[in-house]
Amino acid sequence: MNWLGDTRTSVAAEKILDAAAELFVRDGVAAVGMNEIARAAGCSRATLYRYFENREALHIAYVHRAAGVITRKVTEHVAGIDNPTELLTEAMVTALRLVRADPTLSAWFRPGEYFGGSLGLHSEVINAMVASFINGAAPHSDTHAKAKWYVRVIVSLLAHPEDSEEDERKLITAFVAPAISADLNSGPASPQRSDGSAMKRAH
């Protein structure tokens, strides 16, 4: 490939990320440096640094690209589910399944790897994607805080999975999804009398 002649920056960056993906699968994320990525991509280090100023920037771009793909697939999969708790449960289970099924993503959560969890937990882009998704499912939620919680649970289960998908589904159904969608099912509290009983509404 003639890197210097390629004026399509986004296309060139994608090719670099694709080359990095193959190395991450083969060698593990932590073991792959910029030298290896440049060599695999068929470009010089100088060219690589034109697109990604350092290793962290490349990792962030890689994770954000993957998160966008997963988010689109999950959104398509859960379309048509009306119940917020069911939707959020199915979305999380599906996201976990998709990441684990893709070697270029699951490589980030192998034992001993720490980049995937760290980037996932601290990425405002990923939190914004999840917040937008949650807002669609539970529009009255405190979406920013709940998105961070949602991402944290996903990262935790990717790093330390349960024995089966069914076990994870039970945990998510019981403890995670209801907490995120709870404010949809809670109306304003009825005014209380001094004796603690609810006041009758005037007719």
* pLDDT tens figures, 71-118: 999 999 999 999 999 999 999 999 999 999 999 999 999 988 878 888
Q: Does 201 have pLDDT greater than 70?
A: no
Specify the 3-state DSSP secondary structure of 107. helix
Looking at residues 140-151, what average pLDDT do you find? 83
CA distance 103 to 106: 5
Average pLDDT score over the chain: 85
Q: What is the pLDDT of residue 1?
A: 52
Banded pLDDT at 137 (limits 50, 70, 90): confident
Q: Quick count: other Cβ atoms within 10 Å of Cβ 32?
A: 21
Banded pLDDT at 49 (limits 50, 70, 90): very high
Q: What is the pLDDT of residue 114?
A: 79
Which CATH class for the 55-183 domain? Answer: mainly alpha
Residues 6+ apart with CB under 8 A from 121: 148, 151, 152, 155
CA distance 18 to 25: 11
What share of the chain in percent tops pLDDT 70?
Answer: 84
Residue 59: name the closest of 105, 9, 111 by CA: 105
Domain boundaries, the chain: 55-183
Residue 182: name the closest of 128, 152, 145, 154 by CA: 145
Q: Does 120 have pLDDT greater than 60?
A: yes
Torsion of CA 22, 28, 32, 37, to 10 degrees: 10
Whether the Cβ atoms of residue 70 and residue 99 lie closer than 8 Å to each other: yes
